[in-house]
Structure 1
Amino acid sequence: MQGFLNLNKPFDWTSHDCVARVRKLLRLKRVGHAGTLDPAATGVLPIAFGKATRLLQYLPGNKAYQATIRFGLQTTTDDLQGEIITSAPCPELSLAEINAILPQFIGEIQQIPPNYSAIQVDGKRLYDLARRGLQVEVPVRTVEVFQIEILAWREGEFPELDIAIACGSGTYIRAIARDLGAVLQTGGTLAALTRTVSSGFELTNSITLSDLETQLQTGTFQAIAPDTPLLHLPTVILPPVSAHKWCQGQRIPVNLDIGDTVRVYEQETHFLGIGQIKEQLLIPITVLHN
């Protein structure tokens, strides 16, 4: 069995927990995921299994979230799971003030990831260093935010803002909450997060772990085909003889100039794997069929 699963990650589960559960349900050793989600976040977690785990690196990087930001609070983790650093009611904060500064967070922006994150510094995960009380300089990253849409605004001592964010890979929504609060001089932290899109998978088509278990028990589970999330890559179609040679590791001459990384098929419908075109040669990179 090989393919993908569009999992709706439950609250308080790590991404690793989800992989372990899917591995047990499918009775497969080769299971992996794309785009780690924090335990407190829910939503789309793409899961690959079988030989499809080798395709995770080729998935598109697009992501989208629905987030709730609470103002007046700062925490050690930039979300409600951490210890409170400052707590100062800000009932005077207005939506107009937020609207005025939101454009600063759209486009290519500089971002310092949260101290409690999976990023590595000198081979160590930041969350491991933070838990040990070690202070390290977190490198600034350039990330891209395509769109921020305001969904709802709730006034109060600690007002809350619901937003929808479309962004590139590597963007931390916790950091956006923290930095938005810093610019407003109120403090801000992430109160809730749901990922609605990840690597070509959408929340509307996702299934829960309970759904997966039921489908497996009733024999109705259908894996997502390995090439389904790779439609952003150009296609090369080979005749049977060339396809066989390519699957055996041979470079195939092609008169094409359609990009570096491509999907490779035999006779239009039989997905073979991923190749690279260099100097008009189709080079095998990830072959799923021998």
Structure 2
Amino acid sequence: MITLSWLYAFAGLIFAAYAVLSARDRTNGKRFGNAAFWALLALSFLGGDRLGDLGNGLLLLCLVGLAGFGALGRGLPRTTGPEEREALSARHGNRLFLPALVIPASTLAGTLLLKDSGLFDPKQVTLLSLGMGVVIALIVACIWLRPPPLAALEEGRRLMDSIGWAAILPQMLAALGAVFALAGVGEVVGGLAGRILPDGNLFAAVAIYALGMALFTIVMGNAFAAFPVMTAAVGLPILIRGHGGDPAVVAAIGMLSGFCGTLMTPMAANFNIVPVALLELGNRNAVIKAQLGTALPLLAANLLLIYLLAFR
């Protein structure tokens, strides 16, 4: 049976290839820093379960050190040139998006058809189908477009180098949310909220919850990491138990309030930094600036919706 460890191994091998290619890239003045960074990340995927807590902690500190001391740079991978890309674009047009569409199609088909097949772990069938979709899409693109042999790996490395250390922010921030919850940050925030909230002031409690969800998401970059902290601090003890709020409304719209914070933070790298790298925009915060006009009014609307709908 194919389990999640297969997917980890696949990702680890990809990062190991990035490390080797980075070490050979003489156009990058910091090539050995890049090689070390991607090699450590490959090690975490390939053998993280064997390293133990201490080993993984030291590995993480090494990654942070490489990023923090500016050891990462950008090279010029040898892939298709601008003229060849323009020619392919003119020849194939929007059909170039077909390999990308193979990925969600394969993920959906695998999730629906392979859950009870005995081939994939039924608990992880969606993630495994996603990995399968990536492999199928790569095969389709290579057979159809016939790029240079290492084009896929070189282009993947180019993109990862463009994003840099922010590529691993989602994993680190998800772990941070778990650490905050275990450390009792929610209880501390709840104690502070209890001291500053006027007795019986429902609107103030709702405002602290909604704004707190957005602010913690801005700090953590992940609304799912902010949710257990703010729900344990304000949502459950004050809004639901204290004021009799509807748990479904409080939790659902509270999460939407957190997503407003996602629109306003560079910590949400996969949403706000990756597009900048993909589009090669000059301003690193261009996506965030474009989203502020949506995020702030939506946050205010979510606050009012919790207040009006959860306590009827």
Structure in which a larger fraction of residues adopt strand = 1
TM-score between the two structures when normalised by the length of structure 2: 0.27
RCO higher in structure (CA 8 A, sep ≥6): 1
Higher relative helix content: 2
